Amino acid sequence: MTPHHATQNTGALADVRVIELGQLLAGPYCGQLLGDQGAEVIKIEDPATGDPMREWGREKPYGKSLWWPIVSRNKKSITANLRTPEGQQIVRDLIKDADILLENFRPGTLEKWGLDYESLTEINPRLILVRVSGFGQTGPYAPRAGYASIGEAMGGLRYVVGDPDGPPSRTGISLGDSLAATFATLGALSALHSRERTGRGQIVDASIYESVFAYMESLIPEWEIGNYQRERTGPTLPNVAPSNVYPTSDGDSVLIAANMDTVFRRLAVAMDKAELAEDERYATHSARGGNDKELDQIIADWTINWTAEDLLAHLVEHGIPSGRVYTSKDILADPHFAARDAIIRVPDKTFGEFPMQGVFPKLSDTPGEVKWVGPDLGQHNDEIYRELLGYDDAQMSDYLGRGII
């Protein structure tokens, strides 16, 4: 760890320094997660363009991305042209006293720049290199460009998402990138823990397709042993019932998940149809799975007589997992989100205050926090170059004049 800067941060990772070279999402979201828990994250961006994420997002009020302030929160932005020898030396200077170097370039890029792990560990043997890519650092596909959509398809997710009569679909977010970043974070923390025993850093190799694949449950043995291929099933899961979205009298809908035997018995009582739990067609998990369409219709015929609000209150009273399908407006109005500070508001010079997700998970003794939104390009150049690395006026002027920083 790097105790000389531990007093500047709070959180479980307050003594960890991360140098982030990545762009867009798979690498930077890992940086966000580490920064949320207190790590000092120094993000290096191209001086001419910055991270393209600064321009991404579905809506851009005032010409500003609404995604950048979130994924780059808590980070310090400096600029460096990594395609130049001077920019590459900046990385070497920074990793002398860093714990983690994070990157999500195409495999081979760091090596092309003379920043291979072997060379970096000659400077800092304790350095952990976290590498996030589409297909991993090895294997025949390693050199290929890989985005989340490709990893989601290759990892098996896209094939099973969507309606049965429609094409493979997506989830509406860049799920593959976020999963890869989460696994990269897990790898980084594991490597930090291992370093406490060995004194050495190591490479963390996280790929998008494997991160997606890791979530695919029993997909492989189902095919190889059971000769069963999962297909698209819309809002339900095969052989898991009842677990669906059911209509209400006010035009809304409620999701009910009562597929466990004990929970289904409670649902039957709540429906005033206790005999359903004794019916051989519905008495067990397997039986309900084989008669899911008939059971869904019985439940829908019952829920359509209730408003969503009354139905949910009734289901909660009987201990049945249930809920509405939330929009952004619903999330903002929900008292549970408010009670747990799941939505926070951070000062922002453009928007006044910026609403975003809080820090998850919540730690009791060393909670994470969001100290600032995503910074301006090069906002922390003076702090890092002058105060941390000791660059003088002449060197700063030279680098600025030549577009190095």
Per the CB < 8 A criterion, the answer to whether 40 and 17 are in contact is: yes
For residue 319, give the amino acid letter.
Answer: G
Is residue 214 within 8 A of residue 186, CB to CB? The reply is: no
Q: Which of 75, 87, 77, 74 lies closest to 50, judged by CA?
A: 77
Backbone φ/ψ region at 179: left (φ over 0), alpha (ψ -120 to 50), beta: alpha
Burial of 106 (0-12, 13-18, 19+ CB in 10 A): middle
Residues 101, 374: Cα–Cα separation, whole Å: 19
Are the CB atoms for 304 and 247 separated by under 8 Å? Answer: yes
Decide: helix, strand or coil at residue 206: strand
**3 state DSSP class of 41:** strand
Active site residue 165: no
Nearest by Cα to 287 from 246, 240, 322, 255? 240
Sign of CA dihedral 182, 184, 187, 188: negative
The stretches of 208-345 forming alpha helices (DSSP H) are 208-213, 219-224, 261-270, 285-290, 292-303, 308-317, 328-333, 335-339
Cβ-based neighbour number of residue 183 at 10 Å? 23
Choose, from 177, 205, 292, 296, the residue flagged as catalytic.
177
Centre a 10 Å sphere on the Cβ of residue 401 and count the other Cβ atoms it contains: 9
Q: Where are the alpha helices (DSSP H) in 278-362?
A: 285-290, 292-303, 308-317, 328-333, 335-339
| Residue 269 CA from chain centroid, whole number | 39
User: Within 13 Å and on the Cβ side, how many CA atoms surround 84?
Assistant: 13
Angle made by CA atoms 301, 305, 309, in degrees to the nearest 5 = 120
- Residues serving a catalytic function are 177
